[in-house]
Chain A
Amino acid sequence: ELKVEQNPLFLSMQEGKNYTIYCNYSTTSDRLYWYRQDPGKSLESLFVLLSNGAVKQEGRLMASLDTKARLSTLHITAAVHDLSATYFCAVVGSGGSNYKLTFGKGTLLTVNP
């Protein structure tokens, strides 16, 4: 059974600082997603990572994927208050389990002025 672990689960950081969220998964996967969720809202897709070594950047967020290590990172550069939200990674299973997303528990990010 595919398991996805995120850490840290809670992250409080100051504006202007850098930090990284880690996402480990237990078995071979077809693809990996990062989502943002604001309180009471749905999931907003941030990145889709499809292959080993994939790196994608959008604004102050950069995501990467190492399929050999089964590890993805979401790096935050020079954080601003607007980035405060919960971030989830989600992994698609392989083979017969490629129809569903398995989510990490999420990282609640709070950026303080």
Chain B
Amino acid sequence: EAGVTQSPTHLIKTRGQQATLRCSPISGHTSVYWYQQALGLGLQFLLWYDEGEERNRGNFPPRFSGRQFPNYSSELNVNALELEDSALYLCASSLASGAGGMSYEQYFGPGTRLTVT
């Protein structure tokens, strides 16, 4: 069974540009999560999508946004890139997780390394 896939592996952008990162979940998983791992800041929750809707977001500015498509794949967009956006972005997927209800294990993809110059 294929795991979570992410593309691209590496992305180099200039400050002020936009970046688009993509994630395909494990087949059967409807929840997709995005995490940022920036140097010195550790791993931080960014966004959660389920059934095509944004369910919750972490403490990040609105220029971090995304969407989930009908096939449950997801896209993370970062607008007006800043140098501190340089990080490893990890996508994870799980079976449907309802806030307050059952939570399921999240499976992580290989990540996209975003470098902003």
- Which residues from chain A sit less than 8 Å from chain B, CB to CB? 30-31, 33, 40-43, 45, 48, 88, 90, 92, 95-106
Contact = CB atoms under 8 A, between A and B. Distances in A.
B58 interface: yes
A104 B58 CA distance: 16
Contacts of A43: 90, 108
A45 B113 CA distance: 20
B113 A40 contact: yes
A42 B43 contact: no
Interface residues of B, number: 26
Contacts of B44: 103
A45 B44 CA distance: 17
Given A40-B113, A88-B43, A99-B56, A45 B100 contact: no
B110 A42 contact: yes
Counting chain B CB atoms within 10 Å of each CB, the highest count among A31, A41, A88, A98 belongs to A98
Interface in B82-108: 88, 90, 97, 99-101, 103, 105-108
A94 to B, nearest CB: 9
Contacts of A104: 42
A101 B90 contact: no
